[in-house]
Each structure stands twice: as C-alpha cells, then as structure tokens.
Amino acid sequence: MLIRLFVTHNKKLLGHLPSVMATRQSSDMAKFNETLKSAKNIVFLSGAGISAESGIPTFRGAGGMWRKYRAAALATPEAFGTTPSLVWEFYHYRREVAAKAEPNPGHLAIAKFEKNNPDKTVTVITQNVDGLHARAGTKNLLELHGNLYKTRCTKCKEVLVNTDSPICEALANRGAPDVDQVGSDIPVRNLPHCKKSGCKGLLRPHIVWFGESLEAAVLDKAESVMSSCDVCLVVGTSSVVYPAAMFAPQAAARGAIVAEFNLKPTPATPDFHYYFEGPCGMTLPKVLSE
C-alpha cells in the first residue's frame, strides 16, 4: 500500500502515467554518462537509501521501528499534540545519530558533480532530513521534508537552525531505542521552547509529518525544476511516498531521461530508461566520473 504522506497535494500530482519503457532498462554507464554530458538541467532526487549507506536508519518497512513504536506513527502532528515528550525523544535520537554520521561516496559524488559542472544547472531534491547532502558540499539543495536541525515554534512559527547537542538538558542521554522503554516522563515545560521574548512557545522539529503539506515554496520550486530537467537521477528512494514518488515518472512521461540507482527495483522502475543496481556509494561515483 502506498503511503500518502501529503494529502493536500496528492490530487494535483496523481493521474494516469503510462509506462514509457517498451524494453528492458539499460545499465550502460558509458551511454548514460554521454547523456549527462549533453544535458543542461540535471536533477538528483534522493531518498533514504543513500543515507542508509551512512548508517542512518530508514524507518521504512519491517525495520521501521523505534522502541515499540512504528516510526510513522510518531511522525504526525497528532502524536506530537498528544505526547510531545515522546516525539522529541524520537527526534533527539535521530539528531544524535545523524550528527555522528558522515556523507558517503554517493553524497560526495553528487556534490563534486555539481561543483565540476558550472555550465549546467544541477539541483538536488531530497526527501532526507539529515543534512548530509549539505555537509557533502551540495549547494543547490531542496529539502522536501524539512531538516532535523531546524525547529519551528508552535506559537509564533519562527523557524531556526539548531545544532545543539542535546537540544535541551532534559533530552540529554534520552531517546535510546530501548524496546523495554515505554512512553516518556519528561515534563512539557522542560522540552525545547522558543527563546523569543514574549513567546516561549513549545518548539517542534521542522519536519513535514504524515498528514501535513510540504511548504508551498519548496514544492513549487521542486515542481518547476522537475518540469524543466533534461535528466533525472533517482537515488536510493523507494518511490512510494507522495508527492516525490510522482516526480520522476512524470519527468519520464514528458520525455526527460531518468536513471534509477537502487539496491533493488521499485514500483517506478518500469517507467525509467536506466537502472543501476547496487549501493549508491558504488554506482554513483562510477557514473558521475566517467
């Protein structure tokens, strides 16, 4: 079953998209590299798979558990409204894991490709929230689902970068994925709060949760980039979370060349022209350095 993450925009993005592939997808790296050389507008669309190679849990499928909770059940405004301390423990854990992770050869190859091709428009659209693309050196970056190191005030709505570790004293040494740990006993008053004078509202992670819409400006930019790209590289994404799941198939349907880099085929693989199987950290450097 497809996970409809952003209800507001599903109807806009869904529709009948016939498969554009009449033959088996190519795995010819040299041929695809020639396509890259002639392209002017290139998009990398990345997902959890590339970050998994840096040791970051994907929280998808059978392994998508934190403690006894399904991660997707905690990533909702309803969960935060009911148990904000539990949700903050989950995101504190994720922040600490991501802070210790390093960009892998896949992240670095993408950043290097952008730097070495100033004559091309290269954009990275990521579903990841860990900040590894930016740390690798990517400049033209759209983070569809937000960022672990940004907070948003639930009262005044101010968004700020926050890389503190821990983000507040009450969360120090909390958030371990201990399956025997149930709930959270941290008082709400001790959770992160807005420091703006006269506000003091409860802060939340600046993450797009299930049931919420993407930021309009980010979505509009992503759609604009996808509508004009010559080539799209789909990197480590399951192609099941909307609206990003429709970006590459729509690009292929209008004639853009799309290549998928994944450990295994996805529901969208038949829509694409190229498929390169294996870890992104191995396949991307080979393709982008040809």
- Measured over the CA atoms of residue 172, residue 177, residue 181 and residue 187, the dihedral's sign is positive
Q: Is the pLDDT of residue 20 over 50?
A: no
pLDDT of residue 3: 33
Give phi and psi for 55, each to the nearest 5.
Answer: 90, 15
Element (H, E) at 34: helix 29-38
- CATH 3.30.1600.10 boundaries in the chain: 57-100+146-207
181 pLDDT band (50/70/90 cuts)? confident
pLDDT of residue 60: 67
Lowest-pLDDT choice from 18-22, 141-145, 183-187, 236-240: 18-22
Q: Tell me whether residue 145 is one of the annotated catalytic residues.
A: yes
Which of 22, 109, 32, 104 lies closest to 276 in space, CA to CA? 32
pLDDT of residue 15: 43
Question: Coil, strand or helix: which one is 53?
Answer: coil
CA–CA separation, 123 vs 127, rounded Å? Answer: 13
Average pLDDT, the chain: 90
Which of 50, 92, 47, 99 lies closest to 67 in space, CA to CA? 92
- CATH 3.40.50.1220 boundaries in the chain: 1-54+103-145+214-290
Half-sphere exposure (CA, 13 Å, Cβ side) for 216? 1
Q: Is the pLDDT of residue 16 over 50?
A: no
Residue 31, token pair as written in the block: 């041929």
245 pLDDT band (50/70/90 cuts)? confident
Contact 199, 140 (CB under 8 A): no
Burial class of residue 220 in the structure, from the number of CB atoms within 10 Å of its CB (0-12 exposed, 13-18 middle, 19+ buried): exposed
Burial class of residue 143 in the structure, from the number of CB atoms within 10 Å of its CB (0-12 exposed, 13-18 middle, 19+ buried): buried
Give phi and psi for 75, each to the nearest 5.
Answer: -90, 55
Using the structure block, give the residue that is written with the tokens 């993408």. Answer: 110
Percent pLDDT > 90 in the chain is 79
Q: What is the pLDDT of residues 197-240, one digit of tens each?
A: 999 999 999 999 999 999 999 999 999 999 999 999 999 998 77
CATH code: domain 1-54+103-145+214-290 is 3.40.50.1220
182 pLDDT band (50/70/90 cuts)? confident
69 pLDDT band (50/70/90 cuts)? very high
Neighbours of 71 (CB within 10 A): 17
Q: Is the pLDDT of residue 5 over 80?
A: no
pLDDT of residue 61: 57
Question: Coil, strand or helix: which one is 257?
Answer: strand
CA–CA separation, 51 vs 236, rounded Å? Answer: 8
Which of 65, 90, 68, 66 lies closest to 80 in space, CA to CA? 90
Contact 79, 87 (CB under 8 A): yes
Q: Which of 92, 107, 133, 145 is flagged as catalytic?
A: 145
Is 57-100+146-207 a CATH 3.30.1490.190 domain? no
Q: Cα–Cα–Cα angle for 171, 175, 178, nearest 5°?
A: 145
Q: Is the pLDDT of residue 98 over 60?
A: yes
